[in-house]
Amino acid sequence: MSNHPPTLDERPPDVGELTPPDRTLMGPGPSDVHPRVLRAMSTPLVGHLDASFVQIMDEVQELLRYTFRTDNKWTIPVSGTGSASMEAAIGNLVEPGDTMLVPTNGYFGGRMRSMAERAGGDVVEVDAPWGEPLDPVEVERAFDEHQPDVFGFVHAETSTGVRQPDVPALTDIAHEHDAYVIADCVTSLGGVEMRVDEWDVDAAYSAPQKCLSCPPGASPLTLNDRAMDKVLSREEPARSWYLDLSLLEGYWGDDRAYHHTAPITNVYALREALRLVAEEGIEERWDRHRAVAGELKAGLRDLDLEMNAAEECWLPSLNAVRVPDGVDDGAVIDRLLEAYDLEVASGLGDLEGDIWRIGCMGRSASRKNVEYLLAALENALAEQGYEA
């Protein structure tokens, strides 16, 4: 072996222009982005404390309140992807020694568990099989047994295609036990009915690249006064300085004091994506997702494909479809990408290899996309010898 150090290549890397493929995005996210949103990202930068940007911040907060269906003052885009808004919610509301109740019915309940443990919390679980929603009876039993301080649930479980029905039944149980409720709305905000105030949710987080059809980078989060009072009265600060909401309050609150450099172009993009939500109307947008995804579901049944979720907990924005016997799920995914520039995804965790996850979110939730996907999927299945 040579003892000589490697020689630094003085030549610059030969990298050409950026030319990503033009995909039709029908997976679990990201979804297709509206040209208006892309144009917003190309507009000139201003400083993150510029008076014009402060006005944009105000507008984004108002648009987020409309989309979350809330009057919460503490409604902001967290600088980061959806996992950042998730960790901001859990890492601030869960203090060392607190007990958090998390679900076992999907991949992202497990992520809640990990974040709560890193925040110093003790974690207990309410059990439900993957592919089923939480049963309020089981939730109440878990509360009676463990008396948790914080309860987290996934409104739209991306890994299983399951929507949690009757959210108020869960929040009523939690508040009867004086617990705080955190809702994961990553795959529902802007596409599936979610009413933060009416359903009495204390904190909710989401991601922009799903039903909002916005590039990731600035992720929605909302907390009511009760939840924010807990954050501001903690005995010790949150373990993450960057995501400490008692510090972020100074930037997104009344003072607009420097905390970090906000992702300015991502805030531009989120503002434009939320403008599109407001122009369509939030309830009309929910209706569109349900109607277009209903056509997708009907077409899948015509191909003799079975949905993973029962009808009463079907998630329009993320359709989990069972892989037929004798079909290679990965080969179908690869064929759709290579031959049709069409993205769908395989299962996660306990459902890996058993389902395809087909998104119907935001701008991607269109009849044209559904027709294209069904035709391409039928061809890809036929190539494997599958006959509907």
Paired strand residues for 162:
157, 314
Cβ within 8 Å of residue 6, ≥6 positions away: none
With b for 16 or more beta-carbon neighbours within 10 A and e for fewer, the 209-225 pattern comes to: bbbbbbbbbbbbbbbbe
24-29+281-383 maps to which CATH number?
3.90.1150.10
Q: Where are the beta strands (DSSP E) in the chain?
A: 24-25, 74-80, 99-103, 122-126, 150-154, 156-157, 162-163, 180-184, 203-205, 217-223, 318-322, 342-343, 345-346, 355-359
pLDDT of residue 388: 84
Each domain of the chain, given as residue ranges in start order, spans 24-29+281-383, 35-279
Gap between the Cα atoms of 102 and 104, Å rounded: 7
Find, among 102, 136, 134, 129, the residue nearest to 313 by Cα.
Answer: 134
| 3-class secondary-structure state, position 368 | helix
Phi/psi of residue 247, nearest 5 degrees = -90, -40
Print pLDDT tens along the chain (388 aa): 556 666 777 788 889 999 999 999 999 999 999 999 999 999 999 999 999 999 999 999 999 999 999 999 999 999 999 999 999 999 999 999 999 999 999 999 999 999 999 999 999 999 999 999 999 999 999 999 999 999 999 999 999 999 999 999 999 999 999 999 999 999 999 999 999 999 999 999 999 999 999 999 999 999 999 999 999 999 999 999 999 999 999 999 988 999 999 999 999 999 999 999 999 999 999 999 999 999 999 999 999 999 999 999 999 999 999 999 999 999 999 999 999 999 999 999 899 999 999 999 999 999 999 999 999 999 999 999 998 8
Number of Cβ within a 10 Å radius of residue 117:
15
pTM for the predicted model, two decimal places: 0.95
35-279 maps to which CATH number?
3.40.640.10
pLDDT of residue 8: 72
